[in-house]
Chains A and B, each alone.
Chain A
Amino acid sequence: MHLSGSENSRRRRGLLMGVAAASMLVAGSGAASAAANCIQGDREAPYTIGWANIYSVPTWMKQTEGTIAAEVEELKKAGLVDDLMITDAQGNAQTQIQHIQSMIDANVDAIVVIAGSSNALDRVISDACDKGIAVVNFDSLVNTDKVTAKINTDSGEWGAAAAQWMVDQLGGEGKIIVMNGPAGISVSDDRRKGAQPVLDANPGIEILTETNTEYNVAPAQEAMTSLLFANPEIDGVLSLGGALSAGSVLAFDRQGREQVPTTGENARQFLELWKEKGLEGWATMQPNWLGALSVYAAVQALEGKDVPAFIKVPLPVIGDDTIDGYLARADQFPADGYIYSDYDRALFDKLLAQ
């Protein structure tokens, strides 16, 4: 149950973020002048928000929806929002088009969307934009620039930062294993590509081997277990996904091997193992509050504020110095969930002002 939920969420996110990374190249142009994109200035508070999700089942998605609902509650108190409409396309991009069309028909004021396909939604989203609806797209992005804003982190930076931490940790000398997500998934490729320049610049770091598994604990643990037999000397594990790291740590533990510096993501299981086994760790995340930020950005745009066409969210980093703060809040998150960094209005305003 736990594993399969986690696996689903990872696989889904892998796909979604892959699409996201692909479209990121296209985004970023067309900064708004006075008002933000799509805004015609004829809509008044309180606003109705539509949240067009591609797939609501994975834990990451549920947590993201949680941040959206919480943000809407806040905005309701301020009298800015009166309703939130949620749809789940059950993984079907065609259904997502239908849902967004229905949101246009229902004349919502803002649409927040994670795209099920990087280009299938282009036309319906342009239609929404033409109607003066604030469209904010995050996590998995669309091609069209006819949106109010796109919001995401950078997968390449993710890989680079993880590799840099590993190099620093090992003092530029050591044998490491690289753990990747599934081959051919863009987010996995993009993180790995991001790590390469850092590894090239540090020839003292020797890559023993690499793994490609589902973003899931069990296959990662299995892969690492066999690698432990083959490699008596491993100085670090450069893992580019949270559940992979948990599998790696468990494999080291079962074999009675001493833990080595390990990178990962903010999966609760990994963070707890990190503390429990006392390893040297590093993690980053795709923050769930991108959802809350998207709602906030949409409302700001509707209120006539200037919102940048592309909002790049810096990757929050978890280190040995900050992990305690994350674990202190662990009980607020599902066991197979992600402990995301704290967020508040000040952070959102700062991100929107960039």
Chain B
Amino acid sequence: MSATTVPANLYAAVQKRRNRGLTGLYLVVAAFLVVYAILFPGLLSVGGFSKFTQNWFPLALVTMAQALMMLNGGISLAIGPMVSLGAVIAAVTMGGPLGVLGGLIAVSVAGLFIGAVTGGIVAYLRLPAIIVTLAGSFIITGIALILLPRPGGYIPDWFSDLLAGHTPVAFGLLVLLLIGWKLYLATPLGLGIYAAGNNPVGAFRSGVPVERVKVFAFALSGLLAALAGLFVAAQTGSGDPVIGTPFTLNSIAGAVLGGVAFLGGKGTMRGVICGSLLLSVMINVMFFLGFPPVAQYVAQGLIIVGAVAIPQLTSQWRAKP
């Protein structure tokens, strides 16, 4: 950064604008966490914190994956199948000659490759992401079922214990990911995501390689979803070819809760993380409050609508003279 104060002010202004509308969500999430900690004080112990963050971690990853797509102005229906495929590849390879490292590479390559191919089709053939990922979801589900027709496979115990044992490794990884995201945003391709998502023509005229930005964003999205699958496999100690299915809708819910706009170019990863955290902590809080299952369905819907509506209402109220 140069010595002048203008860029710093600009940065602060941009950040302030991005945080606007998220204050409500932050408060809701904080309130839920406080209630949860009161109901279950064990949350504040290392073991309790680790287990809670482990259950949240894969959802946080897929929500980030979905947010990457939505920032591009698209939506992915292949997130869940990608999680399943990641879990299956991990469970099939890690017990074999490739070992854990080989499995990790195989999962990452599969995620990046499928994401990049999807991104290429969307960017260069100008097809809507929702259609391409819908088709992709069938293909990916099929591949996962071919690789592992029934739940099974094997993940070494030490790897499961490392990622999903009694230490907060998953949370540490999430922090690293967020730092990584910040760094990515400092690169031309990262910066381009917002520009291309918000105003593709304007971005193109300003010299942003719009297509390449898309392909990279899609590839990263695929990588995140596949890694979420890897984590799920480690957490469960095995692979299941359909375990990811519910993640598709949950990732959209989390991203929308986190303030990511459907039309692209608007949203922040910190919001997205909070959105997924709310979805996850809500389940535990309702459990400890002893909500019967039927009430949980209703409460879940109300919380989501509330978390989205409150910022809208407050901004309208602020806008009034």
Contacts and interface: CB of A to CB of B under 8 A. Distances in A.
A121 B287 contact: no
A122 B238 contact: yes
A119 B236 contact: yes
18 contacts: A56-B294, A91-B246, A92-B246, A93-B236, A94-B59, A97-B236, A101-B55, A102-B284, A105-B42, A105-B48, A117-B240, A117-B243, A119-B237, A120-B238, A121-B236, A123-B160, A123-B236, A143-B238
Interface stretch (A81-89, A197-205, A338-346): A81-89
Contacts of A99: 283, 287
Contact of B237 (A56, A101, A122): A122
A123 B160 CA distance: 9
Task: Classify the secondary structure of B's interface with A.
Answer: helix
Contacts of B151: 19, 117-120
A99 B282 CA distance: 11
Interface string A310-349: 0000000000000000000000000000000000000000
Nearest to B293: A88
Contacts of A53: 293
Contact of B284 (A88, A92, A98, A117): A98
A86 B292 contact: yes
A22 interface: yes
B173 to A, nearest CB: 17
Interface string A18-46: 01001000000000000000000000000
Contact of A120 (B160, B236, B280, B296): B236
Interface of B: 40, 42-43, 48, 51-52, 55, 58-59, 150-152, 160, 164, 232, 235-238, 240, 243, 246-247, 280, 283-284, 287-288, 290, 292-294, 296-297
B296 A88 contact: yes
Contacts of A97: 55, 235-236
Contact of A94 (B58, B290, B297): B58
Q: Which of A98, A99, A143 has the most CB of B within 10 A?
A: A98
A122 B236 contact: yes
B243 A120 contact: yes
A61 to B, nearest CB: 10
A19 B150 CA distance: 9
Nearest to B249: A92
Contact of A85 (B58, B246, B283, B290): B290
Nearest to B236: A120
A123 B150 contact: no
A21 to B, nearest CB: 11
A123 B292 contact: no
Contacts of A56: 293-294
Nearest to B56: A98
A94 B288 contact: no
A103 B42 CA distance: 12
A106 interface: yes
A105 B37 CA distance: 12
B237 to A, nearest CB: 5
Contacts of B59: 94
A322 B40 CA distance: 51
A106 B288 contact: yes
B40 A106 contact: yes
A87 B293 contact: yes
A213 interface: no
B51 A105 contact: yes
Contacts of B288: 102, 106
